[in-house]
Chain A
Amino acid sequence: MTEEMIIAGFGGQGVLSMGKILAYSGIMEDKEVTWFPSYGPEMRGGTANVTVIISDTRISSPILQEFDTAIILNQQSMDKFEEAVKPGGTLLYDPNGIVNPPTRTDINIYKVEGTKTAVEMGNPKVFNMIVFGSYLKVRPILSLDNVEKGLEKSLPERYHKLIPLNLDAIKKGQEIVEDVQLV
């Protein structure tokens, strides 16, 4: 199994930290992992993306042109990465701020109302964990137990009291993800 994915959105949405939790969960599952950020003179509000690769075997290139899965959280990233999903691959997106939804018919498209649900849950910061939950629902490559361990490892101890809240958000994301059928 090798899952090559890109998570892309605005800086401040938790793109990089979602990738980090994913990667740590992969380690807990005894897999090889690579987390490669787009680093540069970037800032809050600018675009941010991270390539995460989880594999049973040694990982080759961290630089990829096409991905098994794309998690897309803003329009700029949709413009850039919709075409980069491999045929038969998965595209998961949050419709908040998306003007032009994806149109490809050769990939599996899923939608999660992450921004809206995070506000309803009373904590906009868990937005990325809701999206992460939706990802785990549509690409069940990691067990929830290992995700919990991954959260423990990647969060500093002073934030461990927030792990239950994050797990609730992940479970919420698993419930609310919608399959988008384009014919």
Chain B
Amino acid sequence: MGEVRLMKGNEVLAEAAIRCGCDGYFGYPITPQSEVMETLMARQPWNETGMVVLQAESEVASINMVYGAAGSGKKVMTSSSSPGVSLMAEGISYIAGAELPCLLVNVQRGGPGLGTIQPSQADYFQSVKGGGHGDYKLIVLAPSSVQEMNDFVNLGFELAFKYRNPAMILADGAIGQMMEKVELADFKPRRTNEEIEAECGDWATLGKPKSRKKNIVTSLEMDSDIMEANNLRFQEKYKKLEEEEVRYEAIQCDDADFVLVAFGTSSRVCQKAVEIARAKGLKVGLLRPITLYPFPKKIIKELARKAQGFLSVEMSAGQMVEDIKLSVYEAGSNARVDYFGRMGGIIPSPNEVVEALEDKFSWELSYGVKRSY
């Protein structure tokens, strides 16, 4: 068993980065994720592992530092909160277009604009549908505990390198600021230059040995036939992600008439809501997507065969609900999909969720069957 500590989600991100052999962190402070760089600067990993930690002059600079360092096959990351991630959008699109692995962290706060510093999940669309320009996808992981903040740093890097695609940890201010018991991973050394050459030698710009062709890192292609071929290759990669990397957790869904769907902090609230609803005799379950992209469509389709309704519980005006509707539609099910949420930095309470469920599905609850139109 690894070392057990009480830590904030943000602090754990920093510790996990050092322990998983991260080569570099480039960032710019913003509430509620400033503890990431604060912890890194206090830990001074450059003395311990040689990891670079650099406060850039802006988010735009930090994402482009990530772009450059990722091009050399290094394991690099940045973190920010909503407005800062918007600033990074251009660079993220370039990194996806150049097919480079890196880890991005968004500890979301309420928006739009400068918004508030309180937790939010309103960057769902930005994270899973693009955010920047062009047909690209991020691998998006949604932690719901401090332990998962730890675990997803290593997982994010693994997936990013496996698919040569940026991965994002989409957290929120609550998980960033909350302290929980966490079992830290054991230290992994940073890869040597020889190991990087062996793993990434066919694409990374490491200095050209005589034994191979030169590698070029770019997202630019003037020939549109080649650009289309590139896009087709990206789409193949996303298809493979959708087939092989979906992760979710289903809690008490087996006999559920109603399924709450929630990720991150709102999924924690919903776990309690399930307890409350079950105590009232309602057959309610919780589906917690862990990968937001690729979205767990298949399990929703399976649940839609039996469930009377789905309630998407979000700290936004209702974004993930669209993906649930799409999955239920594809399943040919007439299960009803509705949304409940709070915005602007407010976290819904478990009782509010149960009340919303009873209110929005009052027809189904009184007749005990699916409502047909």
Contacts and interface: CB of A to CB of B under 8 A. Distances in A.
Contacts of B173: 39
A153 to B, nearest CB: 7
B179 A63 contact: no
Interface stretch (A28-36, A94-102, A112-120, A124-132): A28-36
B27 interface: no
Contacts, number: 74
Contacts of A153: 5-6
Interface string A27-58: 10000111111011100000000000000000
A17 B270 CA distance: 28
Contacts of A65: 349-351
A20 B179 contact: yes
Interface in A50-80: 59-65
A59 B302 CA distance: 28
A64 B353 CA distance: 12
Contact of A62 (B4, B174, B351): B174
Interface size range of chain A in the complex: 20 to 34
Interface size range of chain B in the complex: 20 to 34
Contacts of A27: 4, 6, 181
Contact of B118 (A23, A26, A40, A59): A40
B349 A34 contact: no
Interface string B203-244: 000000000000000000000000000000000000000000
B177 interface: yes
Contacts of B275: 60
B4 A61 contact: no
Interface in B140-162: none
Given A39-B32, A40-B118, A154-B6, A63 B181 contact: no
16 contacts: A27-B181, A36-B174, A36-B177, A39-B32, A59-B268, A60-B275, A61-B268, A61-B269, A61-B271, A62-B174, A63-B269, A64-B349, A64-B350, A65-B351, A153-B5, A154-B6
Interface of A: 20, 23-24, 26-27, 32-37, 39-41, 59-65, 153-154
User: Nearest 5 pairs between A and B by C-beta?
Assistant: A60-B271, A61-B272, A35-B179, A60-B272, A61-B269
